Every structure is written in C-alpha cells, then in structure tokens.
C-alpha cells in the first residue's frame, strides 16, 4: 500500500450506531463505529456472530430492513457523498457501480430461474447503460476473468448448474461488473471448501490490483485475514476493539480479545506438539439487549481492571505501537502478559 | 393496569376466545337462557320483525320465522347442533389425518405412496358431491353427519403433517433420537408431534370454520340436520325464500356463523403464537 | 493391523444414495479403516468427499449397501434390532448444527436424559435427575438450566448439551460430525478442549469429521483424507501433516490459511490440478502410512 496519510479516504464512517427492534427491546448491533478506508486498501473486519461486522457493512449499502433496523447515529461518507441521507436513486446507482457486494451464500443471491448471463447483462445494461450486444460481450469477458471455464457457452446456464465455488465466482463477476471502487465481501468464502477458498482469495487479490479497488473483507477466520489484509479491524459487541496494520495486529496485539482469539487457534507450525490444550476464551459473548456500562469483553477478560467494568474504553492510539495501531482498552496488555510470562 | 393499557394488550385471540366462550355457554345452558321453546310455532307471530318490546306471545328480539318461532331461541338451540357436529368432525378428521400423515411421512416407501394416492383421490373428489352421495346412502343423522364431515377434512391434515414430518425426519435431533435407539413411537410422539402442533392447530381452526360452513351448506340443501332440530345452516336455508320480505330470518344465522368462524380463526392464530416456545 | 483387535473395524464400506443417478459413483466407495480404543481418528475432506456419509453409516443412521462394520467385536451392519439397541448404547453421534440438533419443544434436561429412559436405566426419577445434573456439570453447564428450552442457549452451550446427551450412557465411541463448524472461533476452542478433557477422563474414542485441517491436526491421533468417497491417504497425524504423499492431501494442506501474515506472504500455494484420480489401490508407503497410488496414465 502507498502512503495513505496524504490521500483522502474513499470511505469515512463516523460514530455509526445501529439497533434492531425486537420483542425484548432493542438489540444494539453496532455501537459508535468510526474508521477510514483508503482507496486501494484491503481492510479485514474480524469478529464473531453478534460483533456487528455484517450489520455495519449492510448499513453502508443501506441494505438493512428499516424497521426493524434503525440507524440511530452516524455519518457514512463514500467518495464525496453522504450515504445515510442519500436518496433511494443515489443508493441504487451506488450499489451498482460504486460498491460491489458479495455475500456468504451465493445461491440465495442469484435468481434461480434466470440464466447467469441474463443476471450479469441486466446489471450492465442498467448501470452502465450498455446495449444488449455490448453487455453480452462484456459478461463473457467477466466470466472468463473470474475463471469460469468455457464462459461463452456457460453464460446460458442456470445457477444450479454451477458448483458452490463457481457460483461465488459469478457473484464476484456481478459485483465487479461496473468497476466499483469498493468491494465488500461478507464471509464470502465461509461456506466454501478450503481449496476453493484459496482460489477465490487469490482471485480477489488479483482483481483488487487490476481494478484499483478497495476491499472490505468480513470474516471470522484469522488465517484468511493474515493472507489478504493490509489493515485489520477487530470487532466485539458492535464496537471496534482494535485496529491496525496486519503485522502489528498479529505480532503485537494490544486488545485482550484479539490476543485471546489468536491464542485460541491451534498452533499448526508445531507438527509434533499436537494434543495440548488450546488456550480458550471462557464465557460467552454479551447480550446485545443490555450491554454493560464498561468494556463488554471485561467479564471474559482475565486482564480486566476495575475500570474496565465501569467505563467503556475509547479507541485510541496504542502506546509504543505503529502509528494507526488503535486499541480500546484500559489495561496495557504488554505489561500484564509480560508479568504473566515472568510469574 | 390502566383501562388504556388493558385494551392495548388485548389480542385478536382474546376477543375470539371471549365470543366463542359466550356462544358455547349459551349452547350448554340453552334451556335456561333461551326465552322460548325453539320449536313452538305460533302463526300469529309469523315473520314478526325484531323488536325489543314485549308482545302477547312473549319477547322476540331477533324476530320470528315463517312459522312464528322465536329466532333467538332457535339460534341458541341451533348452535348446539352446529358446534357439536363441527367439533366432533374436526377432532375425528384431525386424529385420522394426523395419524395417516405421520405414518406416511415417517415410513416412506410404498406405504407412503399408497396413502398419498388415497389422499389425492379424496382431495380430487368434489366434497359436496361426496357428502350428498353419502347422505343419500347412509341417511342423515347426527352421527353420519360427523363421519361425512370428518371424511372431507382429514386429507388436509394428512397432507400438511406428511410434509412437516418429511422435513423433521432429516433434522438432526430426530437422527440423534434414532442413534440413541428411540422407538418409532417415541420419535413420533416425543420429537415429531410436539414440533408440528402449530401447523396442526392452524389447520384445525381453519377446518372448524370450514366444517361449520359446510354443515350449514348441507343443512341448506336439506341433507344436514333434520327438522325439527334447529341448526344455523337450516335456519339460513329456510330464511332464503323470505329474504326479500323478512331479512332477519337469514341474516342472524348468517351473522352467527360468521362470528363463530371468525372467532375460531382468531383463536387459531393466537394459539399458534402461544405454542411457540420462543415466546 | 497393529496390536489387539480395534474398537471399530470398518471394511470395504460402500454407500450409494437411492436418489443418486445410477451411473454416478457411490457416495462412499470401498472405505476401510479402524479406530482403537481411546483414539481420535480424523476424517477430513471437502464437500462431497463422503466423510459425513461414513459417520452416518457407522451409526446405522443410513445403513451401508455393503461392507462390514465390526464394533466391539460385533458385526453391526447385519445385526438384529435387539443387538443394534446394545450397540446404540456404546456408540453415539454429535452433529454439526447445534440449532437443529436439539428438539426445540423439549426441555434440555429431558433431552439429555432421554437415552437413559430409552434404555431403561435409572428408572427412579430423582436418581435420573442427579445423573443428568452430574452430566451437565461434566460438560460445563449449570444443572439449574435443565428446565430450560433450547432457544435459551447459545450455540456453544447447545453443543455442550449435545455432548452431554451423547456421553450419558457411557459410550466407547462418539462420532463427531463437524462438531465445531457452526461455532464462533472463541467457542470452538472451548468445545475442542472439552472433547479432549472428556476423552482423557472416559477413554472414549472419537471419529472427528471435519473440514478444518488445523483443528484436525490439533485433536486427532490419526487422519484419513477422503476424496470423492475414497480414502486417498491415511496416516498418523504427524506423518500426514509433515510428509503428505498424495497430491490431493498436498493441495489441501497448501490451501489451509495460516494465521501469520509473514508466513502467508512467503507461501507458495501449489493448488495444482483441479481433480485427481482416486482409483488404484491403497498401499502402505511407510509403517502405518497408507496412500492411494494415482493410477498411471
């Protein structure tokens, strides 16, 4: 990545909060999320179910059903436009050619009764104002680009005639059809086999460089993150708990949650040391109906201080860390883990 | 709780339950609550208009029919036959239909195919024609009417139950019961049945409404409840010829049927929610 | 075959689904392996490899078309209903999706107790309650939660409930079919640790079916790699991960993402060809390390 400090961000999110109305009151899914995304940057957002990672992405595209969802505060600035106050038409145009999105389950995103050619050309005709012939040629090119073999004839096939991995490739073809400046992939490889996942990741990496897109990759798999991220952002209970360059996050985590996640993975490099206990994070994610006043991770955090239970820590520059390495914590993880190592 | 809050918390099901309870109580205590003998005719009061004032023949707030019988009393007594027949028909049809649907869905194979073909044939047969034929063959009495109505009813349960069972059979908690060595009976009763109660109840309420209408239709055609036993359907049928001169003959039984069917459907919706353990 | 007779010995297992086209190869084709007492065997493979089908066939949830399954010295694929009931007390299964694995209309305490009821153990109600409460504690759940319904539990807790139920008859073998795939990362480690602890205590054997090669490496003693219904490689975990012989295993391992940015960047993925032959015969390349020789062109 080039020096980002002089560029203007492609996407700016400020203080975004989203909640859902339910029978039991409000679910606070996203709570005051702020960050910048630079052009051509790959941002990985890591979190578990209920962390708000998908909800916040859907609110960028205004794809959340409102109600029950409700964006209670925030600004989302994309490429010179404010999205939260944008008209339906603006959002519609933007979903086509500003931001492309790929979801976990390609089968539910594709229309089963239309050929994939029809589904790709429709996007091209509507958003790029292409005529039928040009759209067809372009669609074949796109399918070829995402490595669907024999694209010219497969374009007449229906979604069920493709494998899961191929369907996800088709979704990517549709998402990049109008040369978006941002691609959002929400658990796009979670349902796929590991070899297929590796191929899709490789493909997205190539496309990103080719098209100078920024990518927001949402996943729970830290292995995938290590492979593609420039910047990593860890979310918990609807808030960012840590954010920074990928190497800093993996090698020098400052949030106990990030640290716990990394530690809970089996160590694959140690082929002879199998069958040790994993270092698990105890407890369960918090109830989003009633978030505690303090750090929501505090009850599961062995390093939590008294202040963690009382007051929510702000996201701020971590001490003695790379610039841009932010953490929301009252404790200093380096000190407590060092003490642990000595003791 | 304030009055406003009370009304805010009322659900359709509560209203339905309230109305149905009143109707059922009236039916049970018919001899006590009806102002008149339902079969006593008095030609002096022929087609008397609904009125709240007392005449020499007694009160008739809903008017009198073509033989001068009190419509309110006839409706109260008529609800007995209508509700009892409908309820029995729905329960019998339900038991038969659920059993057949479960066997069909759970056993699969040839038995499933045979049972479903029978169901298809039954569904394809025009119900009204079937009912008329059966009445012609078996005669019209209370018991036969229940059998006929149940026969037109079980297929709907069977179809829906079979579909649900086919889905549930692949669910992992059912597989886990198989792996634990549970008998087919235990799996059906403990694991499948409780999970298909919601659709069964919905079908049952819809069927209850439909069966009441059908009983009325049969009575309307003269093959349902036989005179002099009053039923709402027969009252509706008899009132038909007078509808231009005396609207109340047909209007009140019709209104009664509508009210009861609506109440039952409201209760059905409400029960479905109540049975959902997530609430 | 090393040592005394194994706990489970599967020979030439074939399973063909009725719904599949006749000319299609069977979902499971001539699969043989064994599991020793107290051991964890991993079955890994991608979707369509037949790994779950094998698990279900062993538990006689969908009986195999041919082959033999000898469990605790008993041939179970041709055993009577009566004998099968005995087997069911000794072998249990845990499924992937903890949401559909619990009966939503049954209190979880009753759900865990059900195998006891089925097999007529602890007929005394309060005694049974105590056994179930003990089981709840064993898997790290609060026995006070026995009266609740499944929807009141999180995914990880539900999986604990399933494990409690599977273990309550004291089985010698548990087939765990993708037991952590549907769980959050921080919960996966909890469940894997729980399975390991329980094995240490009860000496139960696991067949651990998974597509997560990192977790398989962590928890299994031996691993069988499946490709299109056949075992292409079977070895102890150290040999398999440090010296994979079959090209499919190599491809699979090379695709596994490593949570380390520096290593990920340095990595050359050899994704290689998209399909492999799974014909040929399984030969023992080194002691205990079996590989299916790719057929010669």
Tokens matching residue B211 = 């069966």
Which residue in the set C185, C213, C242 is minimally distant from A220, CB to CB? C185
Which residue in the set C56, C103, C151 is minimally distant from B191, CB to CB? C103
pLDDT for C130: 92
CA-based nearest residue in chain B for residue C107: B277
Top residue of C80, C114, C151, C176 to mutate, by most chain B CBs within 10 Å, is: C114
pLDDT for C224: 95
Continuous H helices in C71-212 = 81-90, 108-118, 125-138, 155-167, 185-202
Domains in chain C, number: 1
Tokens matching residue B144 = 């036969």
Return the sign of the alpha-carbon dihedral for residues A172, A175, A178, A184: negative
CA distance C54 to B40: 77
Tell me the β-bridge partners of A183. Answer: A100, A215
Q: Do A281 and C46 touch (CB under 8 A)?
A: no
Is residue C72 within 8 Å of residue C157, measured between CB atoms?
no
Which A residues, 38 through 77, put their C-beta within 8 Å of a C-beta on chain C? 48-49
Report the share of chain A in percent with pLDDT over 70.
95
Digit-coded pLDDT (tens) for C11-57: 999 998 877 777 778 888 889 999 999 999 999 988 888 888 999 99
Top residue of B173, B177, B195, B279 to mutate, by most chain C CBs within 10 Å, is: B173
* Residue C108 domain-assigned (yes or no): no
pLDDT for A48: 86
Q: Do C93 and B278 touch (CB under 8 A)?
A: no
From chain C, the residues in CB contact with B195 under 8 A are: 103-105
CA distance A273 to A279: 14
Tell me the β-bridge partners of C207. Answer: C41, C175
From chain B, the residues in CB contact with C56 under 8 A are: 175
| Minimal C-alpha gap between B195 and chain C (Å) | 6
CATH of the domain at C177: 3.40.50.300
CA distance A271 to A244: 30
| Minimal C-alpha gap between B77 and chain C (Å) | 41
Consecutive H or E run containing A108: helix A106-109
pLDDT for C297: 42
Q: Do C214 and A247 touch (CB under 8 A)?
A: no
pLDDT for C114: 93
**Pairing status of strand C66-71 against strand C74-75:** antiparallel
CA distance C15 to C56: 10
b/e burial code for range A207-224 (CB count within 10 A of at least 16 → b): bbeeeebbbbbbbbbbbb
Q: C91: domain range?
A: 8-101+172-186+203-292
* Residue C155 domain-assigned (yes or no): no
pLDDT for A343: 56
Which residue in the set A49, A222, A223 is minimally distant from C184, CB to CB? A49
For chain C, list the contacting chains (3+ Cβ pairs, <8 Å). A, B
Average pLDDT, chain A: 85
Which B residues, 155 through 214, put their C-beta within 8 Å of a C-beta on chain C? 171-173, 175-183, 186, 190-191, 194-195, 197
Which residue in the set B173, B182, B194 is minimally distant from C118, CB to CB? B182
Q: Do C151 and B190 touch (CB under 8 A)?
A: no
The band of A1, judged by pLDDT with boundaries at 50, 70 and 90, is very low
Residues of C contacting chain B (CB within 8 angstroms): 56, 59-61, 84-85, 88-89, 91-93, 95-97, 100-106, 111, 114-115, 118-119, 149, 151, 162, 165, 169
**Pairing status of strand C289-292 against strand C230-236:** antiparallel
Is residue C148 within 8 Å of residue C110, measured between CB atoms?
no
* Residue C281 domain-assigned (yes or no): yes
Is residue A229 within 8 Å of residue A243, measured between CB atoms?
no
pTM of the prediction? 0.83
pLDDT for A306: 86
Q: Do C165 and B176 touch (CB under 8 A)?
A: yes
Is residue C236 within 8 Å of residue C289, measured between CB atoms?
yes
ipTM associated with this complex: 0.86
CA distance A70 to A73: 9
Question: What's the rounded mean pLDDT across residues C120-130?
Answer: 87
Which C residues, 138 through 167, put their C-beta within 8 Å of a C-beta on chain A? 154-157
pLDDT for B204: 87
Tokens matching residue B9 = 């918390």
pLDDT for A2: 46
Question: What's the rounded mean pLDDT across residues C249-258?
Answer: 86
CA-based nearest residue in chain A for residue C272: A195
* Residue C162 domain-assigned (yes or no): no
* Residue C123 domain-assigned (yes or no): no
CA-based nearest residue in chain C for residue A258: C186
* Residue C237 domain-assigned (yes or no): yes
Which residue in the set C157, C256, C260 is minimally distant from A250, CB to CB? C260
Tens-level pLDDT at each residue, chain B (279 residues): 566 666 666 677 888 889 989 888 888 887 887 777 777 777 777 777 777 666 666 677 777 777 778 888 888 888 888 888 888 989 999 999 999 999 988 887 888 888 888 888 888 888 778 778 887 787 777 788 888 888 888 888 998 999 999 989 888 999 999 998 888 889 988 899 888 888 888 888 888 878 887 887 777 777 776 666 777 877 877 787 887 888 888 888 888 888 888 888 888 778 777 766 555
pLDDT for A85: 85
Which residue in the set B176, B194, B195 is minimally distant from C93, CB to CB? B176
Q: Do A264 and C238 touch (CB under 8 A)?
A: no
| Minimal C-alpha gap between C253 and chain A (Å) | 9
Report the share of chain C in percent with pLDDT over 70.
94
pLDDT tops 90 at residue A26: no
Picking from B63-67, C136-140, C261-265, which range would have the lowest pLDDT averaged per residue?
A: B63-67
Which A residues, 78 through 137, put their C-beta within 8 Å of a C-beta on chain C? none
- Is some CB atom of chain A closer than 8 A to the CB atom of C201? no
pLDDT for A95: 81
Is residue A133 within 8 Å of residue A114, measured between CB atoms?
no
Which C residues, 35 through 74, put their C-beta within 8 Å of a C-beta on chain A? 46-47
> Where is pLDDT greater, at B221 or A41?
A41
Cα-based angle C217, C237, C54 (whole degrees, multiple of 5): 80
Which A residues, 168 through 197, put their C-beta within 8 Å of a C-beta on chain C? 193-197
* Residue C240 domain-assigned (yes or no): yes
Digit-coded pLDDT (tens) for A171-194: 888 888 888 889 998 888 887 788
CA distance B104 to B160: 11
From chain A, the residues in CB contact with C269 under 8 A are: 198, 202
Digit-coded pLDDT (tens) for C97-112: 888 889 998 999 999 9
* Residue C270 domain-assigned (yes or no): yes
pLDDT for C205: 94
Short-list A269, A261, A165, A252, CA closest to A221: A261
Average pLDDT, chain C: 87
pLDDT for C1: 45
Report the share of chain A in percent with pLDDT over 90.
15
- Catalogue all structural domains in chain B, each as residue range(s) with its CATH number: 70-274 (1.10.3720.10)
């Amino acid at each position: 990545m080039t020096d980002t400090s002089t560029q203007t961000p492609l996407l700016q999110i400020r203080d975004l909060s989203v909640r859902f109305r339910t029978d039991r009151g409000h679910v606070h899914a996203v709570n005051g999320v702020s960050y910048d995304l630079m052009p051509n940057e790959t941002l990985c957002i890591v979190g578990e179910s209920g962390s708000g990672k998908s909800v916040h992405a859907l609110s960028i595209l205004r794809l959340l059903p409102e109600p029950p969802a409700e964006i209670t505060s925030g600004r989302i600035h994309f490429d010179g436009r404010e999205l939260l106050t944008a008209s339906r038409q603006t959002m519609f145009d933007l979903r086509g050619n500003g931001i492309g999105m790929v979801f976990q389950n390609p089968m539910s995103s594709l229309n089963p009764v239309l050929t994939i050619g029809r589904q790709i050309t429709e996007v091209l005709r509507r958003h790029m104002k292409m005529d039928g012939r040009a759209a067809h040629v372009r669609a074949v090119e796109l399918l070829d680009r995402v490595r669907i073999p024999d694209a010219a004839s497969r374009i007449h096939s229906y979604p069920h005639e493709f494998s899961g991995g191929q369907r996800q490739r088709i979704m990517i073809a549709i998402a990049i059809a109008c040369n978006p400046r941002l691609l959002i992939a929400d658990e796009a490889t979670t349902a796929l086999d590991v070899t297929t996942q590796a191929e899709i990741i490789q493909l997205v990496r190539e496309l990103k460089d080719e098209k100078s897109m920024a990518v927001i990759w949402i996943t729970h798999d830290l292995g995938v993150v290590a492979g593609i991220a420039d910047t990593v952002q860890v979310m918990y209970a609807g808030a960012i708990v840590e954010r920074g360059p990928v190497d800093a996050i993996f090698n020098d985590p400052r949030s106990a949650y990030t640290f716990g996640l990394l530690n809970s993975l089996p160590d694959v490099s140690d082929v002879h040391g199998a069958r040790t206990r994993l270092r698990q994070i105890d407890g369960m994610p918090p109830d989003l109906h009633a978030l505690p006043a303090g750090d929501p991770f505090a009850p599961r955090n062995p390093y939590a201080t008294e202040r963690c239970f009382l007051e929510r820590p702000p996201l701020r520059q971590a001490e003695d860390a790379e610039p841009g390495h932010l953490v929301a914590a009252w404790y200093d993880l380096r000190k407590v883990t060092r003490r642990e190592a000595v003791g | 709780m304030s009055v406003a809050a009370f009304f805010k918390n009322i659900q359709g099901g509560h209203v339905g339950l309230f109305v149905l309870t009143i109707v059922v109580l009236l039916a049970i205590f018919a001899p006590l609550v009806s102002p008149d003998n339902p079969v006593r005719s008095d030609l002096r009061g022929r087609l008397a208009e609904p009125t709240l004032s007392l005449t020499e023949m007694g009160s008739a707030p809903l008017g009198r029919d073509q033989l001068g019988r009190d419509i309110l009393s006839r409706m109260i007594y008529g609800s007995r036959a209508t509700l009892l027949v409908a309820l029995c028909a729905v329960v019998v049809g339900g038991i038969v239909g659920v059993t057949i649907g479960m066997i069909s869905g759970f056993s699969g194979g040839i038995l499933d195919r045979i049972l479903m073909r029978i169901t298809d044939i039954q569904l394809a047969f025009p119900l009204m024609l079937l009912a008329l034929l059966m009445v012609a063959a078996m005669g019209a009495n209370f018991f036969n009417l229940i059998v006929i109505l149940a026969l037109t009813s079980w297929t709907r349960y069977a179809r829906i139950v079979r579909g649900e069972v086919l889905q549930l059979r692949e669910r992992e908690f059912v597989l886990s019961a198989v792996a634990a060595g549970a008998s087919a009976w235990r799996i059906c009763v403990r694991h499948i049945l409780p999970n298909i109660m919601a659709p069964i109840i919905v079908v049952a309420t819809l069927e209850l409404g439909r069966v009441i209408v059908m009983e009325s239709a049969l009575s309307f055609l003269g093959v349902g409840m036989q005179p002099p036993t009053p039923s709402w359907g027969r009252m509706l049928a008899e009132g038909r010829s007078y509808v231009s001169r005396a609207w109340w003959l047909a209007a009140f039984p019709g209104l009664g049927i509508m009210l009861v069917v609506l109440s039952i459907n409201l209760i059905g919706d409400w029960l479905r929610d109540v049975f959902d353990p997530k609430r | 075959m090393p040592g005394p007779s194994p706990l489970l010995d599967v020979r030439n297992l074939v399973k063909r689904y009725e719904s599949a086209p006749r000319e299609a190869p069977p979902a499971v084709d001539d699969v043989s392996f064994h599991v020793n007492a107290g051991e964890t065997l991993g079955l890994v493979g991608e979707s369509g490899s037949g790994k779950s089908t094998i698990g279900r066939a062993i538990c006689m949830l969908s009986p195999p078309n041919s082959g033999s399954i000898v469990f605790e010295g008993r041939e179970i694929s041709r055993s009577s209903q009566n004998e099968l009931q005995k087997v069911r007390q000794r072998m249990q299964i845990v499924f992937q999706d903890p949401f559909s694995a619990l009966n939503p209309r049954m209190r979880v305490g009753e759900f865990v107790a059900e195998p006891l009821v089925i097999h007529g153990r602890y007929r005394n109600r309060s005694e049974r309650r105590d056994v179930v409460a003990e089981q709840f504690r064993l898997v790290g759940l609060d026995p006070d939660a026995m009266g609740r319904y499944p929807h009141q539990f999180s995914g990880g807790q539900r999986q604990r409930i399933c494990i409690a139920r599977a273990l309550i008859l004291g089985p010698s073998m548990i087939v765990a079919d993708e037991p952590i795939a549907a769980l959050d990362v921080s919960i996966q480690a909890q469940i894997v640790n729980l399975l390991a602890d329980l094995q240490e205590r009860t000496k139960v054997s696991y067949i651990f079916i998974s597509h997560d090669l990192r977790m398989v490496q962590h928890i299994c003693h031996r691993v069988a790699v499946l490709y299109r219904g056949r075992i292409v490689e079977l070895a102890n975990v150290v040999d398999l991960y440090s010296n994979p012989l079959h090209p499919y295993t190599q491809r699979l391992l090379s695709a596994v993402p490593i949570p380390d940015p520096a290593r990920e960047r340095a990595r050359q993925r050899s994704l290689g060809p998209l399909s492999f032959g799974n014909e040929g015969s399984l030969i023992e390349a080194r002691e205990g390390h079996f590989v299916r020789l790719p057929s010669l062109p």
